[in-house]
Amino acid sequence: AQSVTQLGSHVSVSEGALVLLRCNYSSSVPPYLFWYVQYPNQGLQLLLKYTSAATLVKGINGFEAEFKKSETSFHLTKPSAHMSDAAEYFCAVSDTGTASKLTFGTGTRLQVTL
């Protein structure tokens, strides 16, 4: 069974600083990986997804993530944080290419300070 570990339930960065949110997965087969964001009082919004194409995936709002098979990681980064990035971020994995359930991490709440 697959699993997802997100290190750090809370991350705080200064506006303009690098954002790095960590995600490690375990899967017995090549995974499909996702990052979702939840802004206050809103649903989950897809930031980006890896589906076995390019290992560096670019998403919305300047975020990107790199799939590293050797490290079983899919960390999310953004070069310069903005106040509007404050939200909760979820990493998720699917171990099949067919439409099926996602397994989520516990989430990381990002705080952006002035």
The residue ranges that bind another protein (CB under 8 A) are 4, 32, 34, 36, 41-46, 49, 51, 90, 92, 94, 96-107
Q: For 3-55, where are the E strands, in sequence order?
A: 3-5, 10-14, 19-21, 24-26, 32-38, 44-50
Amino acid code (one letter) for 80: S
Burial class (CB in 10 A: 0-12, 13-18, 19+), 38: middle
Query: Shortest distance, CB of residue 52 to another protein, whole angstroms?
Result: 9
Query: Shortest distance, CB of residue 108 to another protein, whole angstroms?
Result: 12
Nearer to another protein, 55 or 96 (CB): 96
Q: Which residue has the tokens 């944080």?
A: 81
Nearer to another protein, 51 or 111 (CB): 51
Q: What angle do CA 79, 12, 93 make, to 5 degrees?
A: 70
Nearer to another protein, 42 or 70 (CB): 42
Query: Shortest distance, CB of residue 54 to another protein, whole angstroms?
Result: 13
